[in-house]
Structure 1
């Protein structure tokens, strides 16, 4: 389902209330990439997996239900990484970083390495998808599904694209990517 989360309600973890003002959707302008050289406008939004991790389906101890009504537990490491995601995702788009499709649990998503180094090893990655926006003044929606650390072997990644290429494909074909 293609949807944009506008804000996350606070969650209680133990005695602490956690809030997410840093994860409000924001817009990145990509000048000269639209028809007749106009600016393409991409709204970036986030899903709860950027600050949580899965727990057992039958778990009694969980912090909240995610967008798909699955049990999730708060993850301080992902939350700390999420603090910088607005700037990170803006930079990935503006710098036209490399991206590729990756299969995880039988689902295909786009991945991009946060530090930009395409050297095999452990990297922080952003997992996302794109879809055409139905909002006036916006062209494409970028939904960040998750962000975490992952071992990547770049020898196994044969097809890499530039992020703006993916945004333009989404915009011109009017289709979700992937």
Structure 2
């Protein structure tokens, strides 16, 4: 799991990314007739604080990992400060089916004194024992007036239960 290095802009302003370092927490779920504690291992992808490169982007905006180069996005960075709390509270949030094997939850943080719809896209994968890897793949402010992404609804605890038993949940048609 990736530990992101800080970004420093052309003016020398540092943007620490340690809030997006991996962490773990325990979630109680129903496994058959009894309750079990599941270790949720949380990781964050680069798309949580970067955007696609655009023509004319200054070299100082570029952020690289082993797979890709993207442009650091100050707006996504500010919103990313909410991600650890969102990851810890997914069991209390509405989760929807997104494209491929991803899910999405919508948060409404206050930014600049106004509420914004913040789409948080994630997936889950079974790991060894009673553990699940939760990867926040991307997160960004949704366009005003645009349709909310995803369809249907699934509780995060139920998603974890199904993942542990090897069952892939089906999105509604």
TM-score (norm 1): 0.74
Closer, same or farther: CA 141–56 of 1 in aligned 2, 3 Å: same
Instruction: Determine the structure 1 residue equivalent to 2:164.
Output: 171
Matches within 5 A, 1:89-128: 89-93=87-91, 95=92, 97-103=93-99, 107=100, 109-115=102-108, 123-128=117-122
Could you report, residue by residue, the CA deviation over 1:143-175 in whole angstroms, capped at 9, with x for unpaired residues? 001111114536x85522111111111111077
Instruction: Determine the structure 1 residue equivalent to 2:84.
Output: 86
Decide which of 31, 40, 49 is 2:28's aligned counterpart. 31
Instruction: Determine the structure 2 residue equivalent to 1:12.
Output: 8
Find the residue that maps to 1:47 and give its secondary structure: strand
List gaps (5 residues or longer) in structure 1.
Answer: 116-121
TM-score (norm 2): 0.76
CA distance in 2 between counterparts of 1:149 and 1:19 reads 20
Instruction: Determine the structure 2 residue equivalent to 1:131.
Output: 125
CA distance in 1 between counterparts of 2:151 and 2:79 reads 28
Number of aligned positions between the proteins: 160
Instruction: Determine the structure 1 residue equivalent to 2:72.
Output: 74
CA distance in 1 between counterparts of 2:66 and 2:137 reads 10
CA distance in 2 between counterparts of 1:140 and 1:176 reads 15
More helix by share: 1
List gaps (5 residues or longer) in structure 2.
Answer: 109-115
Task: Note the aligned Cα RMSD (angstroms).
Answer: 3.1
Closer, same or farther: CA 59–158 of 1 in aligned 2, 3 Å: closer
Closer, same or farther: CA 158–19 of 1 in aligned 2, 3 Å: closer
